[in-house]
Amino acid sequence: MFDYQRKILQTEPPGYLKALEDFGAIALMQKLARTTAKECDFQQLFSLTALLIKHFAANLNCDWLTAYLYAVQMGRAEELSGILAMSNAVPLPADSPAFFLEAQPSRYRFGEVLRWIPLEDEETGLNDWGIVIGRFYGYAPERCRWMWCYLLLLDPDSPSARWCVVDTAWENDLERYDDE
């Protein structure tokens, strides 16, 4: 691994290293060095770090920026930093196209009438039901895996239809509905 402090201090003015540390550039370079192993030299690593910082800045989500600014103004930047450190990116396998092509086929077809499976302690008969109008293969964080998610147009007689027209549900939470 590169000795960043020695290399940077030799070529840059005093205070430069501190600025890089304060803005997280050194931590980013160290992480990139671990990731790329011995595939690039120091100058390539430095260029890659600069390129990524420019990319992050250009693609900053303005909604996030507003939330971060509010947290800083309220004196809660450290709490926000802790929450961000706990958040995980959606895990995508390295062979993503093959991963999606090998996904199990969806269980339900468009136009089928489905209902939410009643919870064990909930036999009130107040479960929603509707017609499948869409589906997508998405990541279910509560199950830590990828699975089918369905878009259901709720039946007008469904309990939630008064305030909700369309809802989503994971495949394992649904079953075919036979109107008795």
Q: How far is CA 101 from the centre of its chain?
A: 21
What is the pLDDT of the chain when averaged over all its residues?
78
| Residues 53/28, Cβ–Cβ less than 8 Å | yes
Q: What percent of the chain has pLDDT over 70?
A: 71
The more confident residue out of 97 and 90 is: 97
* 1 confidence band (pLDDT: 50, 70, 90): very low
Residue tagged 């239809």 (tokens): 161
Q: What Cα–Cα distance (Å) separates residue 112 from each residue in 55, 109, 118, 126?
A: 44, 6, 18, 19
> Is pLDDT above 60 for 8?
no
Q: Which of 62-66, 111-115, 119-123 has the largest mean confidence?
A: 111-115
**DSSP class of 165:** S
Helix (H) or strand (E) holding 137: strand 129-140
Q: Which two tokens stand for residue 106?
A: 């969806």
CA atoms within 13 A on the CB side of 18: 3
Segment 41-56 shows an average pLDDT of 83
